[in-house]
């Protein structure tokens, strides 16, 4: 008997913030132009904005974009968040962001239920803030790729800081330190780190999260970055050879957009 091959199917699981969701949607569009079946996993209140973007983008390049949406439930009340809080924006404080990010683990069980009841995708592309996705998907034998929407410089710098922890060797938040074993003499202070805050609880939370993210990047099948090798060759080489990450550079993904509104949204939100 002849066998029929199943279309390659990828689940995309974006973090619920414009700077993360928009580039992952653009990535999903790009995948569909290569014949891949794409499905976005998100929470109910994020569906309208995702659907609007998909509908508005009738074509991506020369191919018709068709992206499915699957929802998983998120209880803002259970997470001690305001009713209807299922996304973040640039005005979100460190404290509120901590509460929101810590609640994301509540999505693990709904995701596993979706994987249990749905035809398994060939892989999942998950945002970096969902490090637990790797273990959740492993139950079903599904590989996970981690998406980092930042530059290779940023990803490589944070990986090195996480590994060597030069920030703990300085005596104050304003004292400069050099990122060890890193291309160029790049100096930072604790105050310039993205996780800097005076709140000890928040600081500890972000420190733990960055550790989990770093560990997941090593465990995962690979990391997808919204950049291209020729733009940051020294840092791309450092990221793979020194930090030990397997990486694909596919950006800038916003180039797939032909619609003026999509281009504007991407320019404003990191795509």
- Which pLDDT belongs to residue 82? 79
- Which is higher by pLDDT, 183 or 256? 183
pLDDT digits (tens, 9 = 90+) for 195-243: 666 677 777 888 888 889 989 998 999 999 999 999 999 999 999 999 9
Q: Could you give the CA distance from residue 187 to residue 175 in angstroms, rounded to a whole number?
A: 10
List helix spans (H) across the chain.
Answer: 18-33, 47-56, 94-103, 108-117, 133-138, 152-164, 200-219, 233-237, 260-268
Asked if residue 31 belongs to a domain, the reply is: yes
Give the mean pLDDT of 154-160. 92
Q: How many CB atoms within 10 Å of residue 45?
A: 15
Find the helix or strand (DSSP H, E) in which 123 lies.
Answer: strand 123-127
Asked if residue 44 belongs to a domain, the reply is: yes
pTM of the model: 0.88
Asked if residue 27 belongs to a domain, the reply is: yes
Count, in order, helices (H) and strands (E) of the chain: 9, 11
- Which is higher by pLDDT, 205 or 91? 205
Asked if residue 161 belongs to a domain, the reply is: no
Tally of domains within the chain = 1
Per-residue pLDDT at 271 exceeds 80:
no
Whichever domain contains 83, its CATH number is 3.40.50.2000
Asked if residue 249 belongs to a domain, the reply is: yes
Q: How far is C-alpha 18 from the geometric centre of its chain's CA atoms?
A: 11
Residues taking part in catalysis: 20, 127
Asked if residue 250 belongs to a domain, the reply is: yes
pLDDT digits (tens, 9 = 90+) for 39-61: 999 999 999 999 988 887 766 55
Asked if residue 1 belongs to a domain, the reply is: no
Residue 250 binned pLDDT confidence (cut-offs 50, 70, 90): very high
What is the domain range of residue 130?
Answer: 9-150+216-268
Asked if residue 209 belongs to a domain, the reply is: no
Give the tokens for residue 230: 């020729």
């Amino acid at each position: 008997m002849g066998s029929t091959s199943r279309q390659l199917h990828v689940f995309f699981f974006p973090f619920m913030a414009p700077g993360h969701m928009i580039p992952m949607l653009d990535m999903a569009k790009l995948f569909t132009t290569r014949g891949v079946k794409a499905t976005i996993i998100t929470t109910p209140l994020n569906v309208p904005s995702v659907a609007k973007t998909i509908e508005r983008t009738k074509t991506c390049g020369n191919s018709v974009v068709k992206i499915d949406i699957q929802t998983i439930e998120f209880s803002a009340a259970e997470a001690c968040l305001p009713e209807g809080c299922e996304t973040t924006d640039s005005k979100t404080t460190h404290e509120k962001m901590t509460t929101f990010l810590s609640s994301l683990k509540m999505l693990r069980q709904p995701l596993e239920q979706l994987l249990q009841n749905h035809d398994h995708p060939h892989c999942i592309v998950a945002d970096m803030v969902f490090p637990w996705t790797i273990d959740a998907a492993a139950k079903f034998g599904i590989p996970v790729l981690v998406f980092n929407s930042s530059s290779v410089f940023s990803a490589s710098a944070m990986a090195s800081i996480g590994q060597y922890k030069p920030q703990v060797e300085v005596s104050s938040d304003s004292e400069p330190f050099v990122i060890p074993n890193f291309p160029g003499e790049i100096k930072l202070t604790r105050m310039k780190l993205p996780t800097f805050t005076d709140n000890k609880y928040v600081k500890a939370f972000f420190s733990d999260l960055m550790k989990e993210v770093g560990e997941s990047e090593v465990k995962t099948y690979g990391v997808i970055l919204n950049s291209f090798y020729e733009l940051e060759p020294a840092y791309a080489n450092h990221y793979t050879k020194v930090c030990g990450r397997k990486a694909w550079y596919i950006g800038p993904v916003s180039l797939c957009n032909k619609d003026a509104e999509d281009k504007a949204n991407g320019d404003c939100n990191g795509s």
